[in-house]
Amino acid sequence: MSDFHQTGQVATFHRLGKCNLEKMEQDLLEISKHRGITLVLPSLYSELQGAALKNIVKELKEVKYIREIVVTLGVANAEEFKAAKKFFSVLPQKTTIIWNDGPRIQALYEELKNVNLNPGPNGKGRSAWMAYGYVVVEEGSQVIALHDCDITTYSREILGRLVFPVASTYMAYEFCKGYYSRVTDKMHGRVTRLFVTPLIRSLIKMVGDVKILHYYDSFRYPLAGEFSMITDLARINRIPADWGLEVGVLAEIYRNCSVKRICQVALCDNYEHKHRPLSQTNPQKGLNKMAIDIAKTIFRTLASEGVVYSPGFFESLRATYLRLAQDTIARYHGDALLNGLKYDRHKEGTAVEVFTEAIHRAGETITKDPLGPPLIPNWNRVFAAMPDFADRLIETIGADNQ
């Protein structure tokens, strides 16, 4: 991706040649003396068994500018939580582990539900949200970075490039989204390539000049899980609890932040992590469910911007999307041929058919329930409803980490 192209509303920072990692980390170390930086790692216990997370920990041991690492741990029993504490104890940075399945944190979740502040079901969205709350009330960092724990091609450069645009006072960005290519002997990233981008462009054709659609279309990898932001945004952002998490976060950033303070950065030449099945016959699993959840989030976001869905809208959208996605397949086929990559047009076409049906299912849901389940509330509302919650959150997490 070594080009100079600026995609639209959002500033794009490219990877132009080899990075001077030593200089960048030295600059970040100087910055960190005045601006604390916390890294949030949403992790399942099962990821502790994989090679990807072991390598991530190995790389993080060499990072000196991170003030604190917050591991927000999911799907772990008491013994597994104890094992996780031992696993991450090798990190030289201050390291805090949030045991989301533990009785203390679960009790806090129940308290929130009792005052109609539903933190959503167990999952990455809720785990990340709880970590943001901890960073906010702990008050030691002005910058939060987050990346996943299944990146098999991870290096310190990814973290440095992700953090720098927000941490640097010379750049003064408030939110930074990572992007990258995902290629082995073939192209990956089907949901972004074949669903999200054609869907956004189909919606632009149908509803016209709605600014948030052009904003979405500015991102080169809108579903990337890596981003950094100022801590103040963690106070005011609401987020979805399902697979609409990434596009939902982008919508909240759009509402709460000037577009001039939003950027995206190329993190690496190539990025690899686990691949999910299409699950073409089961809309409750895999990329099928992911597409449905993403579409619902986008449709509800547009409704909140004043878009009115007339009868037949979603059927017309399916037809518009299908034609555009089929044209997109032809483009990727040519790209693959030119670069000597494997490309199965039948499998790509099958994915588009599944995604077309996902639009139908999402449209049916929106028609029946335009508002849907509430987003996870922002932390300002939680603290307003429960003024002592901040202190008890610190106490609870501290007790688990003793």
Res 241: pLDDT = 85
d(CA 237, CA 19): 32
Structure tokens at 215: 């904003």
Res 2: pLDDT = 61
Average pLDDT over all residues of the chain: 95
Picking from 121, 178, 113, the residue whose alpha carbon sits closest to that of residue 151 is: 178
Run of H or E residues at 138: helix 124-138
Could you read off the pLDDT of 229-271 as tens digits, one per residue?
A: 999 999 999 988 888 999 999 999 999 999 999 999 999 988 8
* Sign of the alpha-carbon torsion through 120, 132, 200, 256: positive
Contact 178, 146 (CB under 8 A): no
C-alpha dist (Å) from residue 245 to 20, 28, 153, 224, 238: 33, 29, 23, 10, 10
Could you read off the pLDDT of 336-348 as tens digits, one per residue?
A: 999 999 999 999 9
Run of H or E residues at 99: strand 94-99
Q: Mean pLDDT, to the nearest integer, of 92-97?
A: 98
Q: What is the pTM of this model?
A: 0.96
Contact 195, 358 (CB under 8 A): yes
d(CA 28, CA 37): 9
